[in-house]
Structure 1
Amino acid sequence: MRQNGTIKFFNHSRGFGFITPDSGSKDVFVHITALERSGLQAPDEGTKVSFEIEEDRRGRGPQAVNIQLA
């Protein structure tokens, strides 16, 4: 299910950050590789995005995928 949110934090040097969903649910992890797969550069904090959530294959919890600028 597609959700909307805002980039809360993104560490450009380490390549990860978090998205705050508009629904008010828990922040979602986002990795630079998910952004690259979506054709996006590392976003600035406050950028509005839409995304889907999937479980990390390594068992680290939910993460954002299929990210688009909103």
Structure 2
Amino acid sequence: MAVIYLIGESYQWRGNDVSVFLWIAAGVGILIMAGGLLTAFSKLRCPYCGASLMAGGRMPSSLPHFCPDCGKTLDDCD
């Protein structure tokens, strides 16, 4: 999203009006981000108890080694 914004800004510096392009690009970026978060909240679950691995609404940078709910290790899951 930031790259598209910078591309649009460079076109504005040349005298073109691309504000609609920037709003559309930002909207598409936000929709993609929201879709990814919704998918993570619904699909990223413990295979043993079904609890969400997004404990407390945090977005993990990597999968945890243990389930935050049941405490079972997730390292040996396929």
Q: Which has the higher strand share?
A: 1
Q: Does TM-score exceed 0.5, indicating one fold?
A: no
State the TM bucket, normalised to the shorter chain: under 0.3
> Could you state the TM-score of these two structures normalised by the residue count of structure 2?
0.25
Larger radius of gyration: 2
Higher helix share: 2
Higher relative contact order (CA 8 A, sep 6+): 1
- What's the TM-score, normalizing by structure 1? 0.27
